[in-house]
């Protein structure tokens, strides 16, 4: 019986020569970013390509804050959360003049290509940078939200899901002991991927996500009916944070008006930290390593992701034009499991 690899990797023929590349992490940190950086560095060095590590994302690029990395620079980091290159959001990079200034900084350093690890905002910036300056760019999807078009998985999603799941399992012990309902808020301003997967895995009684409008009366009625039937004296309601401030507190207040007294637990940034799972380490290592092969094969302005068990390339422009939708069948499954 043939054992298949975790991912099917593309066969890429090198057609160009590159001597120096740079790598940065941008936006929100995600577990596994260090493994991705390591994959980039070790793969590049094996092909005699020098690598500059840029500190604090695009902000560090604009400040010319970077240094050469060697094999020792990325030793003993795959098990560490966060990103040792640090990360930051950079409003200044929205300005085309600053993007051209960044290109000049790279050229002065002799850097011929840039690898960007981050979420949709970071990869949008990478696309605009390549489009305006012509410097080759490869993007890697690093975000716990798993909301990037063209890839089924993102670096950090698996770890964040398991971190939230572990917390909810503990919260449920208290919920059952005191016969209480808990609103547990997980990250996801514009996407319910994390909330949906966590909710199903945790056996949550309800999942509320930004993709679908919340009908508080229906939520209250369902909870009250379950309580009266003796099947819902306690329970977990997973809420994606959404893009409205204090959304979860607002939901709690509205439920109180219907005679319920839910408790609130906001998991917050705990979901972004901690040791990356084995899955995220392998995913990040594969994508980081293969990004160098894509550059040598002449690719640019793409994101390297995964689909149907294979590593794939997706035009960065597609990430801007299309949105990755939440499969409504997942929520349907959640509802069927907890009736």
Q: Could you give the domains of the chain?
A: 20-156+276-321 (3.40.50.450), 157-272 (3.40.50.460)
Token code pair at residue 39 = 């994959």
3-state secondary structure of 105: helix
pLDDT at 278: 96
DSSP per position, 209-275: -TTS---HHHHHHHHHHHHHTTS-SSEEEEEE--SSTTHHHHHHHHHHTTT---EEEE-GGGGG-SP
The distance in angstroms from the start CA to the end CA of the chain is 41
Q: Would you call 145 a catalytic residue per the annotation?
A: yes
Instruction: Tell me the per-residue pLDDT of 4-49, one tens digit each, with 9 for 90 and over.
Output: 557 898 999 999 999 999 999 999 999 999 999 999 999 999 999 9
| Strand, coil or helix: 126 | helix
3-state secondary structure 158-210: HHHHHHHHHHHHHHHHHHHHHCCEEEEEECCCCCCHHHHHHHHHHCCCEEECC
Residue 137's beta-bridge partner residues? 114
Q: Strand order in 310-315's β-sheet? A: 66-69, 50-54, 20-25, 113-118, 137-141, 302-307, 310-315
User: What digits encode the pLDDT tens for the residues 282-323?
Assistant: 999 999 999 999 999 999 999 999 999 999 999 999 999 998
Helix (H, G, I), strand (E, B) or coil at 125: helix
**C-beta separation of 31 from 160 below 8 A:** yes
What's the whole-number mean pLDDT along residues 53-75? 98
Instruction: Write down the pTM of the prediction.
Output: 0.94
Predicted confidence at residue 166, as pLDDT, reads 97
- % residues pLDDT > 70 (the chain): 95
Which DSSP category does 16 fall into? S
> Quick check: 240 pLDDT over 50?
yes
- Name the phi and psi angles at 11, rounded to 5: -95, 110
For residues 240 and 195, the answer to whether their CB atoms sit within 8 Å is yes
Provide the pLDDT for residue 229: 61
Those residues with Cβ within 8 angstroms of residue 252's Cβ, 6 or more apart along the chain or in another chain: 183, 262, 264
Look at residue 233 in the predicted model and tell me its pLDDT.
60
- How many Å apart are CA 239 and CA 187, to the nearest integer? 8
What is the overall mean pLDDT for the chain?
92
Exposure b/e, 9-29, CB count within 10 A at least 16 = b: eeebeeeeebebbbbbbbbbb
What does the pLDDT average to over 215-225?
Answer: 76
**For range 250-273, the mean pLDDT:** 89
At 338 the pLDDT is 65
Residues 267 and 280: their CA atoms lie apart, in Å, by 20
Confidence of residue 1 (pLDDT cuts 50, 70, 90): very low
Distance separating alpha carbons of residues 303 and 54, to the nearest angstrom:
19
Provide the pLDDT confidence category of residue 326 given band limits of 50, 70 and 90: confident
Give the active site residue among 29, 120, 145, 147: 145
């Amino acid at each position: 019986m043939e054992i298949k690899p975790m991912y099917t990797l593309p066969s890429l023929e090198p057609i160009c020569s590159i001597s120096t590349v740079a790598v940065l992490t941008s936006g929100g940190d995600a577990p596994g970013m260090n493994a991705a950086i390591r994959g980039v560095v070790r793969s590049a060095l094996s092909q005699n390509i020098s690598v500059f590590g840029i500190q604090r994302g695009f902000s560090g690029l604009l400040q010319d804050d970077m240094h050469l990395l060697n094999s020792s620079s990325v030793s003993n980091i795959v098990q560490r959360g966060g990103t040792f290159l640090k990360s930051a959001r950079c409003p200044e990079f929205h300005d085309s003049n600053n993007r051209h200034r960044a290109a000049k900084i790279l050229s002065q350093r002799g850097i011929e290509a840039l690898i960007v690890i981050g979420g949709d905002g970071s990869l949008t910036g990478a696309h605009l940078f390549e489009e305006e300056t012509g410097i080759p760019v490869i993007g890697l999807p690093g975000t716990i939200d798993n909301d990037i078009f063209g890839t089924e998985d993102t670096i950090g999603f698996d770890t964040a899901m398991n971190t939230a799941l572990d917390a909810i399992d503990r919260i449920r012990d208290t919920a059952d002991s005191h016969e209480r309902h808990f609103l547990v808020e997980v990250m996801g301003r514009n996407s319910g991927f994390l909330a949906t997967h966590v909710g199903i895995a945790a056996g949550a009684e309800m999942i509320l996500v930004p993709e679908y409008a919340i009908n508080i009366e229906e939520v209250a009625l369902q909870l009250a009916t379950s309580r009266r039937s003796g099947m819902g004296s306690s329970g977990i309601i997973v809420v994606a944070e959404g893009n409205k401030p204090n959304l979860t507190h607002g939901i709690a207040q509205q439920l109180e008006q219907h005679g319920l007294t839910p408790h609130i637990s906001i998991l917050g940034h705990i979901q972004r930290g901690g040791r990356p799972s084995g899955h995220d380490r392998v995913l990040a290592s594969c994508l980081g390593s293969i990004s160098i092969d894509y550059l040598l094969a002449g690719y640019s302005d793409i994101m390297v992701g995964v689909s149907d068990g294979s590593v794939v390339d997706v035009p960065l422009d597609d990430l801007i034009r299309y949105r990755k939708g939440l499969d409504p069948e997942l929520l349907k499954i959640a509802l069927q499991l907890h009736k």
